[in-house]
Amino acid sequence: MKEILFIRNNIEKWRTMEGMIDNVKFEMPDQLADAYTELTADLAFAQTHYPRSRITIYLNKLASALHNEIYRNKREKWSRLLTFWTQEVPDVMWKERKLLLLSFIIFMVSVLIGVVSTLGDESFPRLILGDSYTDMTLENIAKGKPMGVYGMEEEGDMFIGITLNNIMVSFNVFVSGVLTSLMSVFLLFRNGIMVGCFDTFFYQHGILGESLLATMLHGTLELSAIIVAGAAGLAIGNGWLFPGTYSRLVSFQRGAKRGMKIVVGTVPIFIMAGFIEAFITRHTELNNFIRLGIILVSLAFVVYYFIYLPYKRNCHLENANRKTKD
């Protein structure tokens, strides 16, 4: 390959790498490692075919600078624990923002189906929620304690059980993506129908307001994390179904890596949701404004962390890269 053609085919990539070095604090370690792998391959090619060219000197300096940044990141092991949730997860969410929107739409459509089905068929809650749960809830409603189910178990045991169950649900939604995105869609669909059926069941008994104030205390975080886990499952499934220019295996591995970061990022949220459900939801005597305040704070966190922060970080990076090119 002629040197001018080699430069023309790769110059934009190298400029992007220059931007990554100048704005390294906004980059994920995996991105730096991938960039370094590509850059060393280009350097080896240039050393072989254009050993005395200025482009070889340029690539050598660029590779050295990128190597230094990667080495510095390796020494900051403890900070990685922090940057994983403050940088890497938000950046992956930005890359998969379309899948997050798709996961949200699938979930909300299934909620609507659950609502319509329950309104149209009185036996539908028994089919979805089960006879034992339905009968128990009807008994609690008759006793004037519709949310009594949340006080039936000791707080600590309930916290551990609920948290582990929710984390397993999220990992199931993610791992099901291995069997194509359709399995993740199915699990999102099933959870959405349960939510729609549950809330409509309480609406039919005239206590929807109390139901929402109680269940959305923990449900705001819990359901949001399930939707996010759905995006992770779609990411791994789409990597397998739509490899693009990559081989199917490489595309699958890339999707799995992004999806795993997303689903691991939801673990602290499930822990907090489990804590609220075990220790706070049971206290239906709490002032409604306090409960509503907790719900709104939880919603604000979800919007900030999964939508605003990814947007803010990546828009800033794009602007910085644009200035670097100029």
- 3-class DSSP assignment, residue 246: coil
196 and 231 share one domain: yes
Same domain, yes or no: 17 and 138: no
Return averaged pLDDT per consecutive 10 residues of the chain, 326 residues in all. 84 84 66 79 86 86 81 59 83 92 96 96 92 92 88 88 87 76 86 95 93 94 93 84 74 83 90 93 91 96 95 72 51
What CA–CA distance (Å, rounded) separates 266 from 298? 14
Range of the domain at 12: 3-75
Return d(Cα 111, Cα 295) in angstroms, integer: 19
Tell me, yes or no, whether 263 and 188 share the same domain: yes
Residue 324 pLDDT: 47
How far apart are the C-alpha atoms of 168 and 225, rounded to whole Å? 12
Q: Is residue 323 part of a domain?
A: no
Of 313, 306, 303, 281, whose CA–CA distance to 294 is shortest? 281
- Is 82 a member of any domain? no
Q: What is the pLDDT of residue 150?
A: 87
Per-residue confidence (pLDDT) for residue 233, from 0 to 100:
87
The last residue of a domain, from among 75, 109, 136 = 75
- The structure's pTM equals 0.75
The total domain count for the chain is: 2
Nearest 5°: phi and psi at 215?
-75, -30
C-alpha–C-alpha distance, residues 101 and 112, integer Å: 17
pLDDT the model gives residue 26? 58
Domain boundary among 75, 110, 131: 75
Is 322 part of any domain?
no
Q: Tokens 């199915």 label which residue? A: 186
pLDDT of residue 317: 60
Q: Are 32 and 20 in contact (CB under 8 A)?
A: yes
